Chains A and B, each alone.
Chain A
């Protein structure tokens, strides 16, 4: 059984400042979600509420259909892995893994297997680990938690590219073997885009967009062709690249039929927009009507 998530009118304030304001959000069970947002947008605050790390100032947070706050049967099956993990630095890697056994679902053998695969030495103290290895240890504990709702908050920071790739593959393999709800909060958008089923964009404490990945990709387009022909279309570009006489532009709006026909006639190829480019556009502070 994997967990659904429901937030109703949720506000979280730090003092007088609202990190989240009147948030409504519903996540179906058993999907992989991407949580995107600029720095300070409210991603970590949102995840902290889902894991009962914090209590909302007002509103209701339900996980698996039940209030999550101080609900042992629920929080024991929710894992939020923050960057660098929440460890006692004086402990060894082995002791940190054993601490995970607080969760009845924790798979210790799997954790040891992952530690071996990612070359995290069991006898080393956490304080002696590099930033990358510490991130890997956090990821290992998150995967081995075998939780029904697993959230990774920038857990990749410090990992090198091959390690990140191996982590994503392991995450996917674990998900395929045991479908559960996964939320990935990251700034490496294009790197995880292929793994996501739905995307939530948080901006200035509110949910800006929440849709499946295809909907996001259908929101814009990438046009590649002769530079003059691309320019002649007169489209507002989010991003552009030029190589010799070839130009590629990204636009945020879906193309209407006449533009598509003109583009095709001019030998311009039309492809889906990159999620990162779209994200940059949607969260542009100078953009109106987000």
Chain B
């Protein structure tokens, strides 16, 4: 990581977190670029054969949530042995992962936010309808204000997915062969809250949103507060699992 030169001990945890985010974005920049190009090109192709009524960016932004979960989990799984062996404490790594998660979610959230507004202008220019798949019916996102409100939750959603991925990643490192089972309680909670926030069908396994049945009628503010609380619980769980994780023995 070229961004690591001249780190100072008291602040290296923050610099490392920012470095992880920067390196992650650099590593995946072509993926993001490809998603951007596809999201704007595919509707153009579809328009040659039928009316465009669905937001392509909506799907891209949703896939970004799963991608973010994989980034959180994959990075922590790889970083635990590498960073501890390089002289970092677990507490420092936990702080770094926190900084990384916040920055990653903000940047990707900003990209998702800009993308959906850009797509709105693009669709308006070509006379298309920017709709979403809302409970078996296609519904337009709405006015500019509605679109901004719709997109403004992405950073928070990316953060909760990042936290979920991080818990599963560190658990998989700690409990080899069994840690991934934390998927079972975590996915339905996060996916259902995502579902509940938009009252739509996010991209992913629909069955995992079964907890949404219990959220019918929840005010948006309550759902958001619950997402914030779940993010905090997941971050605390990741910290607890990480803080005394032993490094695995090397295998021949």
Give a binary string over B80-96; 1 marks a CB under 8 Å from any A CB, 0 the rest: 01111111111110000
Distance between A155 CB and nearest chain B CB, rounded to angstroms? 11
B143 within 8 A of A: no
Residues of B at the A interface (CB closer than 8 Å) are: 1-2, 4-9, 12, 16, 78, 81-92, 243-244, 246-247, 249-250
Q: List 8 A-B contacts (CB under 8 A).
A: A44-B250, A55-B244, A70-B89, A76-B9, A83-B250, A85-B85, A101-B5, A102-B88
B residues less than 8 Å from A145 (CB atoms): 87
User: Given the interface contacts A72-B9, A73-B9, does A84 sit within 8 Å of B250 by beta carbon?
Assistant: yes
- Pair count A-B, CB < 8 A: 82
Closest B residue to A72 using CB positions: B89
**For the complex, what is the distance from the CA of A82 to the CA of B252, rounded to whole Å?**
11
Closest A residue to B83 using CB positions: A102
Question: Interface majority SS on A: helix, strand, loop or mixed?
Answer: loop
Give a binary string over A44-58; 1 marks a CB under 8 Å from any B CB, 0 the rest: 100010011111000
User: Given the interface contacts A53-B246, A55-B244, does A99 sit within 8 Å of B87 by beta carbon?
Assistant: no
**Does B4 contact A99, Cβ atoms closer than 8 Å?**
yes
User: Given the interface contacts A95-B1, A101-B7, does A78 sit within 8 Å of B87 by beta carbon?
Assistant: yes
**Does B85 contact A53, Cβ atoms closer than 8 Å?**
yes
A residues less than 8 Å from B1 (CB atoms): 95, 98-99, 101
**Does B85 contact A104, Cβ atoms closer than 8 Å?**
no
**Does B91 contact A54, Cβ atoms closer than 8 Å?**
no
**For the complex, what is the distance from the CA of A51 to the CA of B84, rounded to whole Å?**
9
A87 within 8 A of B: yes
**Does A100 contact B9, Cβ atoms closer than 8 Å?**
no
**For the complex, what is the distance from the CA of A79 to the CA of B16, rounded to whole Å?**
19
Closest B residue to A70 using CB positions: B89
**For the complex, what is the distance from the CA of A77 to the CA of B89, rounded to whole Å?**
12
Instruction: Pick the 6 closest A-B CB pairs, nearest first.
Output: A86-B85, A53-B247, A101-B4, A76-B87, A54-B246, A102-B86
Residues of A at the B interface (CB closer than 8 Å) are: 44, 48, 51-55, 70-73, 75-80, 82-88, 95, 98-104, 108, 145, 147
**For the complex, what is the distance from the CA of A104 to the CA of B16, rounded to whole Å?**
13
Closest B residue to A48 using CB positions: B247
**For the complex, what is the distance from the CA of A75 to the CA of B56, rounded to whole Å?**
49
A residues less than 8 Å from B85 (CB atoms): 51, 53, 80, 82, 85-86
Distance between A151 CB and nearest chain B CB, rounded to angstroms? 11
**Does A98 contact B91, Cβ atoms closer than 8 Å?**
no
Distance between A138 CB and nearest chain B CB, rounded to angstroms? 10
**For the complex, what is the distance from the CA of A51 to the CA of B246, rounded to whole Å?**
11
A residues less than 8 Å from B250 (CB atoms): 44, 82-84
**Does B82 contact A71, Cβ atoms closer than 8 Å?**
no
A residues less than 8 Å from B5 (CB atoms): 98, 101, 108
A residues less than 8 Å from B88 (CB atoms): 72, 75-76, 102
**Does B8 contact A53, Cβ atoms closer than 8 Å?**
no
Partner of A102, one of B78, B81, B87, B247: B87
B residues less than 8 Å from A76 (CB atoms): 9, 87-88
User: Given the interface contacts A72-B92, A95-B1, A102-B16, does A53 sit within 8 Å of B84 by beta carbon?
Assistant: yes
